[in-house]
């Protein structure tokens, strides 16, 4: 279990693009929290604390505490607006968590047993199609991550959403829409021969033909 995350926030008193620019110049980050049938509330975060939280994988899936001027609120990360060129966060959306209501969010995938994967041992290369999966569950059931066991995936084979072992009470949103949404999470593909390999092979065949 990851260490509980607590992020301090202040109530935001001024709004607008100009105010947001002033906040960022002051090393602060605008944010908002909404949901749980409560009024949306504009917030201000310390940019360095927000950046540190964003470096923590658990912050993207775990329920954490927003300490809003001394009043704690349980929340999850809902959206990050990033600078189009420099990729740093410009605005963060949080969703309030109500213990009695299901939430829908994304959970990271952890790939295990890749070093003993059957297909990889046969000369294939593992490719990841997803790094996270959308889930629906009560807050108490929200996992920090879900494992993808690649051990028995053969060359040319794939690991699909329906093969995930989601914890009790956790539904995979894609699968709620029908079997046609049972997408591949990862696969093991044959490695293409390089030009150097092909040249060596052709040269060997030529030597054999001259004998």
Q: Give the rounded distance of the alpha carbon of 12 from its chain centre.
A: 28
Q: Give the rounded distance of the alpha carbon of 99 from its chain centre.
A: 22
Contacts of residue 162, Cβ cutoff 8 Å, sequence gap at least 6: 175, 182
This prediction's pTM: 0.78
Domain containing 59 equals 6-97
Determine how β-strand 146-149 pairs with β-strand 103-112.
parallel
Looking at 58, 81, 97, the residue that finishes a domain is 97
Among candidate residues 71, 141, 160, the one with its CA nearest the CA of residue 101: 141
Neighbours of 83 (CB within 10 A): 10
Task: Look at residue 198 and tell me if it is in a domain.
Answer: no
CA–CA distance, 159 with 109 (Å, rounded to integer): 12
Task: Look at residue 57 and tell me if it is in a domain.
Answer: yes
Q: pLDDT tens, position by position, for the chain (211 residues)?
A: 567 899 999 999 887 778 888 888 899 999 999 998 889 999 999 999 999 999 998 898 899 999 999 999 999 999 999 988 888 899 999 999 999 999 999 999 999 999 999 999 999 999 999 999 999 999 999 999 999 999 999 999 999 999 999 999 999 999 999 999 999 999 999 987 544 455 555 555 555 544 4
Task: Look at residue 208 and tell me if it is in a domain.
Answer: no
Q: Are residues 83 and 124 in the same domain?
A: no
Task: Look at residue 1 and tell me if it is in a domain.
Answer: no
Task: Look at residue 209 and tell me if it is in a domain.
Answer: no
Q: Are residues 68 and 28 in the same domain?
A: yes
CATH code for position 80: 2.40.240.10
pLDDT at 126: 98
Number of domains in the chain: 2
Task: Look at residue 197 and tell me if it is in a domain.
Answer: no
Q: Are residues 113 and 185 in the same domain?
A: yes
Q: Are residues 165 and 90 in the same domain?
A: no
pLDDT at 195: 46
CA–CA distance, 160 with 184 (Å, rounded to integer): 4
Contacts of residue 113, Cβ cutoff 8 Å, sequence gap at least 6: 149, 150, 151
CA–CA distance, 173 with 164 (Å, rounded to integer): 12
Neighbours of 75 (CB within 10 A): 22
Q: Are residues 111 and 186 in the same domain?
A: yes
Q: Are residues 66 and 123 in the same domain?
A: no
């Amino acid at each position: 279990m990851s260490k509980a995350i607590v992020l301090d926030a202040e109530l935001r008193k001024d709004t607008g693009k100009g105010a947001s620019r002033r906040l960022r110049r002051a090393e602060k980050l605008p944010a908002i929290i909404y949901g749980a049938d409560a009024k949306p509330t504009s917030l201000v975060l310390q940019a360095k604390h927000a950046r540190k939280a964003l470096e923590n994988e658990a912050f993207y899936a775990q329920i954490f505490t927003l300490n809003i001027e001394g009043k704690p609120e349980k929340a999850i990360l809902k959206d990050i607006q990033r600078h189009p060129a420099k990729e740093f966060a410009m605005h963060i959306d949080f969703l309030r968590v109500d213990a009695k209501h299901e939430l829908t969010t994304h959970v990271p995938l952890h790939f295990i047993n890749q070093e003993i994967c059957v297909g990889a041992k046969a000369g294939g290369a593992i490719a990841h199609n997803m790094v996270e999966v959308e889930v629906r569950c009560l807050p108490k059931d929200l996992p920090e991550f879900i494992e993808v066991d690649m051990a028995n995936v053969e060359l040319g084979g794939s690991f699909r959403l329906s093969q995930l072992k989601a914890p009790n009470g956790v539904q995979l949103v894609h699968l709620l829409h029908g079997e046609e949404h049972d997408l591949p999470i990862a696969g093991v593909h044959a490695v293409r021969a390089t030009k150097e390999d092909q040249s060596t092979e052709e040269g060997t065949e030529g030597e054999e033909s001259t004998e």
